[in-house]
Chain A
Amino acid sequence: MKNERKISDVDIESVMGRLLITGVIISGALILFGGVYYLLEKGLSIPHYKTFVGEPSHLRSVKQIFKGVIHFDSLSIIQLGLLLLIATPISRVIFSVIGFFFEKDYLYVVISFIVLIIIAYSIFSVATG
């Protein structure tokens, strides 16, 4: 009994590890691509990060970011990569809910689900904006 659970745990952990690496690589590639494109475009201009003005609305919501990516806007491509990076640990929590369910560890299905609801509360504000 104890052995069976141990094997399941190792399975969950190894899939989780691959999930995290995949998320980081894909978002990293998007950010790198958008970044090189951005530097080629605006590399010789002067940055202005000294005072906070807030990002324009087209870089704040999921819908607007996708719109910018379709128009091949370099900053929108970077922002999409950043969005994917935020999604990576969230996908890990979603996977945990499923993994613990197959492991029949219902206590941890509930615990993972609570974490998911709390994060959903925060992400909901971006998705609808």
Chain B
Amino acid sequence: MTVLLFSLIVLAGSFLAGLVGALTGLGGGVIIIPMLTLLFGVDIHYAIGASLISVIATSSGAAAAYVKEGISNIRIGMFLEIATTLGAVGGAMIAVYAPTDTIAVIFGFVLVFSAVISLKKKNENLVQYSGGKLSQILKLNSSYPTEHGEISYAAHNVPGGFIMMAIAGLISGLLGIGSGALKVIAMDHFMKLPFKVSTTTSNFMIGVTAAASAGIYMQRGYINPGLSMPVVLGVITGAFLGSKILVKSKTKWLRVLFACIITFLAVQMIYNGLTGKI
């Protein structure tokens, strides 16, 4: 396969990854890495580097649209970014000592865990007017626009959400993914925020989290321009289209799509990691 053909196929695959990544709030990374390693046999280190960059593109491209819609919560995002960036730097530091098959297996389990959790509980359009004391001090309570008008919401269990975010950051830095799924879990399940606020704020935070570990990755030579180029360009366009669709589509459908894709990829990654094929 020539560089030209390879680049075009990766471009098309990345476009789909960016589209699904923006729709589910998990970023393109969880699809990019299995695609590059399983389908094209790319070394997982290069895949991680390209994915990390694509994750920044997905987040920035889609966040711009969400921010204008007024769905994402910039205060919750910024406060929790302390946890995610700390974790991300730590994860990138650990990554250098982890062998490729170990990374693949961890990757798979993170995906399975995300799929199970995402289907476990559904609290859509949760209306609550008072949160904890901490969420009031940090001004985390807000409202977001829906088709039924503005809906108010409050943040619960802020310490729990913060710790979960640090773990999400660690996984992001270690695996080169946005770990949007774990960020959504922290906000959706721990802090009881509405699903759409969770996904969009998560998307908003992913770029900053990935940027925190990206410097370390580039320094180590994990970022290959020839490979990253079609990945990033595909993801930017896919994510742009995805952000246009999100506001209109139903959250239940999103969860099912999300769970199906990542479970399938997870099994593949774990199998290949255990058999030493990665």
Cβ-defined contact, B233 with A13, below 8 A: no
Cβ-defined contact, B225 with A78, below 8 A: yes
Q: Produce 1/0 per residue, B210-221, CB < 8 A to A.
A: 111111101111
Cβ-defined contact, B215 with A123, below 8 A: yes
Q: Residue on B with the closest CB to A115?
A: B81
Q: Residue on B with the closest CB to A74?
A: B225
Q: Quick check: is B161 within 8 A (CB to CB) of the other chain? A: no
In the complex, chain A residues whose CB is within 8 Å of the CB of B208:
89-90, 92-93, 115, 119
State the CA gap A93–B223 with chains docked (Å): 23
State the CA gap A74–B223 with chains docked (Å): 15
- Nearest chain A CB to B40's CB is how many angstroms away? 7
Q: Produce 1/0 per residue, B175-210, CB < 8 A to A.
A: 000000000000000000000000000000001101
State the CA gap A10–B215 with chains docked (Å): 31
In the complex, chain B residues whose CB is within 8 Å of the CB of A42:
3, 226
Q: Quick check: is B224 within 8 A (CB to CB) of the other chain? A: yes
Cβ-defined contact, B67 with A86, below 8 A: no
Identify which of B44, B92, B224, B225 gathers the most chain A CB atoms within 10 Å of its CB: B225
Known contacts A38-B226, A47-B226, A92-B207; is A82 also within 8 Å of B78 by CB? no
Cβ-defined contact, A126 with B215, below 8 A: yes
Known contacts A16-B67, A39-B4, A88-B60; is A55 also within 8 Å of B214 by CB? no
Known contacts A44-B3, A115-B82; is A82 also within 8 Å of B226 by CB? no
Q: Residue on B with the closest CB to A5?
A: B139
Q: Residue on B with the closest CB to A122?
A: B215
Q: Quick check: is B138 within 8 A (CB to CB) of the other chain? A: yes
Cβ-defined contact, B232 with A82, below 8 A: yes
Q: Quick check: is B53 within 8 A (CB to CB) of the other chain? A: yes
Q: Quick check: is B260 within 8 A (CB to CB) of the other chain? A: no
State the CA gap A121–B149 with chains docked (Å): 42
Known contacts A75-B225, A78-B226, A88-B56; is A17 also within 8 Å of B46 by CB? no
In the complex, chain B residues whose CB is within 8 Å of the CB of A88:
56, 60, 207, 211
Cβ-defined contact, A121 with B89, below 8 A: yes
From A12, A38, A45, B229 is in contact (CB under 8 Å) with A38
Q: Which of A71-98 contact B (CB under 8 A)?
A: 75-76, 78-79, 81-83, 85-90, 92-93, 96
Known contacts A12-B74, A115-B78; is A89 also within 8 Å of B225 by CB? no
From A14, A24, A43, B3 is in contact (CB under 8 Å) with A43
Known contacts A24-B60, A38-B229, A89-B208; is A61 also within 8 Å of B74 by CB? no
State the CA gap A8–B63 with chains docked (Å): 19
Cβ-defined contact, B215 with A49, below 8 A: no
State the CA gap A54–B96 with chains docked (Å): 12
In the complex, chain B residues whose CB is within 8 Å of the CB of A121:
89
In the complex, chain A residues whose CB is within 8 Å of the CB of B53:
82, 85-86
State the CA gap A35–B230 with chains docked (Å): 8
In the complex, chain B residues whose CB is within 8 Å of the CB of A45:
2-3
Cβ-defined contact, B214 with A86, below 8 A: yes
In the complex, chain B residues whose CB is within 8 Å of the CB of A83:
218
Identify which of B53, B57, B218 gathers the most chain A CB atoms within 10 Å of its CB: B218
Known contacts A24-B57, A39-B4, A43-B3; is A60 also within 8 Å of B219 by CB? yes
The residues of B with any CB-CB pair to A shorter than 8 Å are 1-4, 6-7, 36, 40-46, 53, 56-57, 59-61, 63-65, 67-68, 70, 74-75, 78-79, 81-82, 85-86, 88-89, 92, 138-139, 207-208, 210-216, 218-230, 232-233, 236
15 CB-based A-B contacts, threshold 8 Å: A16-B67, A20-B63, A20-B207, A24-B57, A35-B7, A38-B229, A39-B3, A50-B42, A87-B211, A90-B208, A111-B78, A115-B78, A115-B82, A119-B208, A122-B213
